Structures are given as structure tokens and as C-alpha cells.
């Protein structure tokens, strides 16, 4: 399934698979996003799967928001994200 990103103002909805193959779509959409917006909300509710490259891309985007003193929220799939955060070894395996 291809990756589709739609938006309305500062709310972005990601649908499909966020992986190494679709990373260019993600990076093109969010390139220099914090030069245009001061707040950003990303919904990952419709993301079917995400590999370590997708997690890393979201992490890098979050780090950019922090570095530029911007606000960023990721919503959706709370249980999956919560599981990764509670299991540091799994997070290490995803990011490395």
C-alpha cells in the first residue's frame, strides 16, 4: 500500500505504510515544515505498518520541532506507540 499524506492547515493525516520504500514521500511533505508552521499535528491512525525507518523519520521530525522551539503532536495508534516506549529493548531494535 502506498503512502498518502493529506493536510488541512497544520493537521496532517498519514495513510498507508511508512517504511524505507515510502520515506521519500514523507520527507518531501515535511521538508522545511517548521519554516512554514509553528504548530504541527500528525495523525498516524491510518498507518497500516511502520518500520524502523518510519519511526526514525518521525523521531527526526520531532527533534527538529524541539530544536526550532515549535510544537508537534503525533496522534493515533496509542497502544502501539505506548508498547514501544514501555519496552526499551524493542525501541532500540526499531531505531538501530
Distances (CA, A) of 3 to 46, 76, 91: 10, 16, 23
pLDDT classification of 96: cutoffs 50, 70, 90: very low
Number of H helices, E strands in the chain: 5, 4
Predicted TM-score (pTM) of the model is: 0.77
Summarised one tens digit per residue, pLDDT across range 53-85 is: 998 999 999 999 999 999 999 988 654 555 555
Phi-psi region of 33 (alpha: psi -120 to 50; beta: other; left: phi over 0): alpha
Enumerate domains of the chain plus CATH numbers: 4-95 (3.30.750.24)
Length of the chain equals 96
Residues contacting 23, CB < 8 A, separation 6+: 53, 54, 57
Amino acid at each position: 500500500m502506498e503512502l498518502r499524506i493529506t493536510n488541512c492547515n497544520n493537521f496532517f493525516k498519514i495513510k498507508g505504510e511508512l517504511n524505507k520504500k515510502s520515506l521519500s514521500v514523507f520527507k518531501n511533505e515535511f521538508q522545511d515544515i517548521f519554516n512554514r508552521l509553528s504548530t504541527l499535528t500528525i495523525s498516524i491512525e491510518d498507518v497500516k505498518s511502520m518500520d524502523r525507518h518510519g519511526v526514525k523519520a518521525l523521531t527526526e521530525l520531532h527533534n527538529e520541532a524541539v530544536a526550532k522551539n515549535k510544537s508537534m503532536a503525533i496522534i493515533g495508534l496509542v497502544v502501539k506507540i505506548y508498547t514501544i516506549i514501555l519496552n526499551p529493548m524493542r525501541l532500540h531494535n526499531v531505531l538501530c
